[in-house]
Amino acid sequence: MSAPAPSMFSPGAHAAAERLGLTMGRANLEAFADTLLELARSDRRIMAVTSDSRGSGKLGPFGQALPEQIVEVGIAEQNLVGIAAGLAAVGKKPFATSPACFLAARALEQVKNDICYSDVPAVLVGISAGVSYGALGSTHHSLHDFAALRAIHNITIVAPADNAETRAAVRAAAVATKPVYLRFGKAAMFDLPAGEATPFIFGRARRLREGRDAAILATGETVIHALLAAEHLAEQGLACRVESLHTIKPLDTDAVLAAGRDCGAVLTVEEHSVHGGLGEACGAVLLQAGVHVPFAIAGFPDVDTVTGSQSDIFQHYGITMEGLADRIHALLPQRHP
Amino acid sequence: MTDRDLARKSIEYRRDTVRAIMHAGAGHTGGSLSCVDILNVLYNRVLRITPQNWAAPVRDRYVQSKGHSVEALYVVLADKGFFPKASLDTLCRYRSPFIGHPTRKVPGIEMNTGGLGHGLPICVGMALAANRDGHDVRVVTLLGDGELAEGSNWEAAMAAAHHRLGNLTAIVDHNSLQISGPTRHVCSNEPLDAKFAAFGWEVRRVDGHDLAALERVLTQSGPTGVPVCVIADTVKGRGVSFMENVLKWHHGVPSADEFARAEAEFERQLAAWEAGA
Q: What are all long-range contacts of A194-199, with beta carbons under 8 Å and residues at least 24 apart? A: A194/A164, A195/A164, A199/A168
Residue A48 β-bridge partners: A70, A95
Q: Give the model's pLDDT for residue B277.
A: 61
Partners of residue A69 in chain B, C-beta under 8 Å: 132
C-alpha torsion B142→B147→B148→B151, nearest 10: -120
**Of A115, A114, A102, A50, the residue nearest A80 (C-alpha):** A50
Q: Are residues A165 and A249 in the same domain?
A: no
Residue A337 lies in a domain: no
* B130/A90 touch (CB, cutoff 8 Å), yes or no: yes
Q: Give the model's pLDDT for residue A1.
A: 43
Domain range for A37: 25-189
Domain boundary among A135, A158, A189: A189
Q: Are residues A139 and A210 in the same domain?
A: no
Residue A102 lies in a domain: yes
Domain boundary among A189, A207, A231: A189
Q: Are residues A131 and A220 in the same domain?
A: no
User: Could you report the per-residue pLDDT of B142-189, keeping only the tens digit for each?
Assistant: 999 999 999 999 999 999 999 999 999 999 999 999 999 999 999 999
User: Could you report the per-residue pLDDT of B25-60, keeping only the tens digit for each?
Assistant: 999 999 999 999 999 999 999 999 999 999 999 999
Q: Are B238 and B211 in contact (CB under 8 A)?
A: no
* A114/B111 touch (CB, cutoff 8 Å), yes or no: yes
Q: What is the DSSP letter of B180?
A: T
* A79/B115 touch (CB, cutoff 8 Å), yes or no: no
User: Could you report the per-residue pLDDT of B53-100, keeping only the tens digit for each?
Assistant: 999 999 999 999 999 999 999 999 999 999 999 999 999 999 999 999
Residue A294: asked if its preceding bond is cis (omega within 30°), the reply is: no
Residue A2 lies in a domain: no
Partners of residue A113 in chain B, C-beta under 8 Å: 112-115, 118
Q: How far from chain centre, in Å, is Cα A70?
A: 25
B118: contact with A, CB 8 A cutoff: yes
Q: Give the model's pLDDT for residue B3.
A: 97
Which residue in A69, A78, A117 is closest to B152 by CB distance? A78
Tell me the C-alpha to C-alpha distance, in Å, between residue A173 and each of A32, A96, A124, A250, A317: 11, 12, 9, 14, 32
Q: What is the phi/psi pair of residue B266, to 5°?
A: -65, -40
* B110/A68 touch (CB, cutoff 8 Å), yes or no: no
| Residues of chain A in Cβ contact (below 8 Å) with chain B | 47, 68-69, 71, 73-74, 76, 78-79, 81-92, 94, 109-110, 113-114, 117-119
Which residue in B112, B121, B158 is closest to A82 by CB distance? B121
3-state secondary structure of B233: strand
Domain containing residue B158: CATH number? 3.40.50.970
Spatial distance between the Cα atoms of A121 and A123, rounded to a whole number of angstroms: 7
Q: Give the model's pLDDT for residue B19.
A: 98
**Of A81, A66, A248, the residue nearest A156 (C-alpha):** A248
Q: Are residues A178 and A264 in the same domain?
A: no
* B159/A83 touch (CB, cutoff 8 Å), yes or no: yes
Domain containing residue A176: CATH number? 3.40.50.970
Q: What is the phi/psi pair of residue A313, to 5°?
A: -70, -40
Spatial distance between the Cα atoms of B128 and B141, rounded to a whole number of angstroms: 14
Closest Cα in chain A to B150? A78
Closest Cα in chain B to A66? B132
Q: Helix crossing, B3-24 with B70-79: angle to 10°?
A: 130
Largest pairwise CA distance in chain A? 67
* B159/A91 touch (CB, cutoff 8 Å), yes or no: no
What is the total count of domains within chain B? 1
Interface A-B, measured as beta-carbon pairs within 8 A, has a size of 100
* B121/A78 touch (CB, cutoff 8 Å), yes or no: yes
Q: Give the model's pLDDT for residue A301.
A: 98
> How many helices and strands (H and E) does chain B possess?
9, 7
Residue A5 lies in a domain: no
pLDDT mean by block of 10 residues, chain A; 337 residues: 69 96 96 98 98 94 98 98 98 98 97 98 97 95 98 98 97 98 95 77 96 98 97 98 98 98 98 98 98 98 96 97 98 74
Which residue in B112, B125, B132 is closest to A82 by CB distance? B125
Strands (E), chain B: 61-64, 139-144, 168-174, 177-178, 181-182, 202-207, 228-233
Closest Cα in chain B to A109? B115
Closest Cα in chain B to A74? B159
10 Å Cβ neighbour count for B148?
Answer: 24
Residue A94 β-bridge partners: A47
* B57/A92 touch (CB, cutoff 8 Å), yes or no: no
Domain range for B64: 3-274
What is the total count of domains within chain A? 2
Partners of residue A78 in chain B, C-beta under 8 Å: 117, 121, 151-152, 155
Q: Give the model's pLDDT for residue A193.
A: 86
Q: Give the model's pLDDT for residue A2.
A: 52
Domain boundary among A189, A221, A244: A189
Regarding pTM above 0.80, the answer is yes
Q: Give the model's pLDDT for residue A168.
A: 97
